[in-house]
Amino acid sequence: MTQDELKQAVARAAIQYVVAGEIVGVGTGSTANFFIDELAKIKHLIPGAVASSEATASRLRSHGIAVLDLNQVTSMPVYIDGADEIDSTGAMIKGGGAALTREKIVASVAQQFICIADGSKLVSVMGTFPLPVEVIPMASAVVARQLALLGGQPVLRVKDGQTVLTDNGNVILDVHGLSITNPVGLENVMNNIVGIVTVGLFAKQGANVCLLGMENGVKTMTF
Ligand code: 5RP
């Protein structure tokens, strides 16, 4: 199976977690995109979705799924999203698609985080994937110095020669070289650095369920 086929398989499996009559939170990235395509098939069962990025909002709309403002939403049974890495406790690195801040906000409203990922995302210790950190642009240098003191090598994210800006107008520092043995502790420490908007560590509030795409089928992990 290709990686895309594994992503499609978990996207299909995630549909069972969507609650009829209730709003669903939708993540960002290639796996989330496959989920949106599956969600379109049952769109008549839900009032709409809350999107974690402009890209997700436009894909939802292109399928005729109503996109709701989070400020109008008080309850959301599930948030469904991919991950860049996930460990055996359900802690995740996210933000490969630069949507980490809105992802964390939407996830915070949901009762359950359903992570959908191909099997390569499961790791014993996170940090091989550089940890994305969203930063206020004027603070990028001072924050980079603080992150270096924690043992990482922060690199400003650039694509096609341009500094990547998030949907919120901020920049991303990708922190290389970390071995994240205490994800909750590191999330707490980084949350206290002035100038950081969001750390792409989802450990204090990690996944409740992970649907992992494996060669022999979809494996369900609960945390
Ligand atoms: C975007 C994210 C994504 O969930 C993460 O990057 C995984 O992406 P993909 O499903 O394309 O592998 O956090 O900010």
* 34 close to 7: Cβ distance less than 8 angstroms: yes
How do residues 16-67 score in pLDDT, each as one tens digit? 999 999 999 999 999 999 999 999 999 999 999 999 999 999 999 999 999 9
**CB of 121 sitting under 6 A from ligand 1:** no
* 104-128 average pLDDT score: 98
Following DSSP, what letter does each residue of 110-169 receive, concatenated?
EEEEEEEEEGGGB-SSB-SSPEEEEE-GGGHHHHHHHHHHTT-EEEE-EETTEE-B-TTS
Which residues, in sequence order, are bridge partners of residue 165?
Answer: 171
Residue 49 CA to residue 90 CA, distance in Å, equals 24
Q: Which ligand 1 atom minimizes the distance to the CA of 30? A: 11
Residue 29 in tokens:
């990235």
pLDDT in tens, 169-198: 999 999 999 999 999 999 999 999 999 999
What residue's CA is closest to ligand 1, atom 5?
Answer: 83
pLDDT score at 55: 98
192-210 pLDDT tens trace: 999 999 999 999 999 999 9
Q: What is the mean pLDDT of residues 6-21?
A: 98
Give the pLDDT confidence score for residue 53 in this predicted structure. Answer: 98
- Which residue in 57, 180, 91, 67 sits closest to 127, CA to CA? 180
Q: Ligand 1, from 8, 10, 31: best to mutate by most atoms within 8 Å of Cβ?
A: 31
Contact by Cβ (8 Å): 21, 45? yes
pLDDT, tens digit, 9 for 90 and up, residues 134-167: 999 999 999 999 999 999 999 999 999 999 999 9
192 CA distance to ligand 1 middle (Å)? 25
State if residue 132 touches ligand 1 by the CB under 6 angstroms criterion: no
91 lines ligand 1 (CB under 6 A): no
Residue 111 pLDDT grade (very low, low, confident, very high; cuts 50, 70, 90): very high
* Test site for ligand 1: of 7, 94, 105, 123, most ligand atoms within 8 A of the Cβ: 94
Tell me how far the alpha carbon of residue 83 lies from the centroid of ligand 1, in angstroms: 5
- Ligand 1 atom closest to the CA of 32, numbered from 1: 10
Measured by CA distance, the residue closest to atom 1 of ligand 1 is 97
